[in-house]
Structure 1
Amino acid sequence: MGVKNLAGNTRTLAFLVLAFVLVLPVMAIETGGYEVRPAYSLSPDDTSRDFIPASSTSPFAGEPEPQPIAYSDLPLAVLLVLAIAGTCTLQAYLLRLFVPGNLPLISGLVKLHRKELLVNASRNLIYRTIRENPGINPSEIERMTNLTNKNVAYHLNKLLDYHLIVDVKSANGKGYFRNSSTDSSSERMLRLHSKNPTERMIIAILSSNPGISRKEIGSIAGISGPSVSWHISRLEKDNIVEKIREGTIVHHYIKEGFKGLSETLTGIQQTGSVYEESLRSSLNPVE
């Protein structure tokens, strides 16, 4: 991890140095150098004391026209000042890159170490919130932590940069998870869809009753056919559900990679058994 980050930082530094070397000549061309002119009439006050008035008797009247001065004609001290001023951003980046900890003389420059990442109270709170609520989205984090949108976004990016968390995008939006090898990508995706009550209901029904039709799903869940189709399309988009047509009937199944996972999520298995009983009642109505 450290070698990878160092390699990335080295490439970034090399790019910045190259950019500076290429841009410096362009800056010189654009400015056209410096132009020195006599100080006639620079100040309307006290010209007799501070300046020689411009007139035909002025000792500078016969001087040639002012000429531009190239960078190479400037004194060394001026060149050094310009070089330092022009490379301030690069110097600040180098300090941040190679000097650990806080730099009190340069406000805002901090080089974080992974072990120090959760020392920040707000970042630690966000991390714990994600760990305890897998699949949580930024709006939910803001509500649960009482932090601002910008604050949450900043700390989420830090946690992502240091690989403490991962973000997963689904048809229902983005959710955040703790970066753990115990969670598969399929389980994370299923968790995101299970946050929606209707989709959790549909997943439970399909887990207990593979091959069920849209009409049967709507009858058990108590929702309309178009609503079933809308939620099924989102589950299908993220490869959780597949549809197989047999004649005029379309059968719905949980895809192979998600079979069994639904039962590992809190409440899915219990919910599925309740819907299964409801299904039996709907398919075998009392005469």
Structure 2
Amino acid sequence: MRMVSITDGLQVWANAKLNFYLEISGKRSDGFHELSTFMVPVQLNDVLEFREDTTGAIKLWCDSKDLSTGPDNLIVRAARMMQDESKRPLGAEIRLFKHIPWQAGLGGGSSDAAATLCALNHLWKLNLPEKILEEKATKLGSDVPFFLQKKAAWCMGRGEKILPSPFECDLSILIVKPIFGLSTASVYSRLKIPSSPMDQAEAPKHFAGSGINKVNENLFNRLQEPAFELEPGLGLLFEAFRKAGAQKPLLCGSGSAIFALFEHDERALEVAKSLIHGTARNFIEHTFITRQAIYSCDN
């Protein structure tokens, strides 16, 4: 996440994320799943602009007509939380330029919500401490607290327990969003919780200071199997990745996007071109070549 001043307001670049590792060990009494995941912010961003509205209204505009701008939108919900916290008739005009695909497992909605918490705290001069923002983020969604951290982290519990983890592996990342999206709830409904989950104590060791081969070896996503069952087209796209030369493609979160890691942008571009012109081309809506995001909200 990066925040800068603009005329009469603030502009925030809200990062997407990738799950390099995602294991689910059980279902909790509150209905959420117990998980362990290593999430990395990447340089694929939604852009949000925030300006004060003197009428006290929360107004959201989006450049995509397919996305709701009503009270169900996480941005609006986050803004109303901050409005309630202020106990003052503060308003905001918010403009969202949507670049992160939705229903792709890239965390765009959660990142936008976190950006809203940060931006309005600054714009309205609320000076709320990080702990309060984290509490509000947890109420908005399991991934939202991660995006407040602005760095790679291991997330446990339902996702709200966050342990920042040093990870600056200079990798090129190819992300492909297919023509279809996936509902997180639908993917979880097909999940078979393993009787013997992966060893959570060992997993962090595989990513700390590791090169591309070690990282690729340990990429893992428990949601990949149920997602493939739900949408057979994912399996075809996955095989196309492999045939094009990707060492270990992986589903992004609950899908539907798939990513792969490469040492160089040139190799990522070769694979992207092969996919676009290959047998899976009719399944592909967007391709992105990007890298890990390592800047902070304060830059």
Q: TM-score, normalised by structure 2?
A: 0.20
Larger helix percent: 1
Bigger share in strand: 2
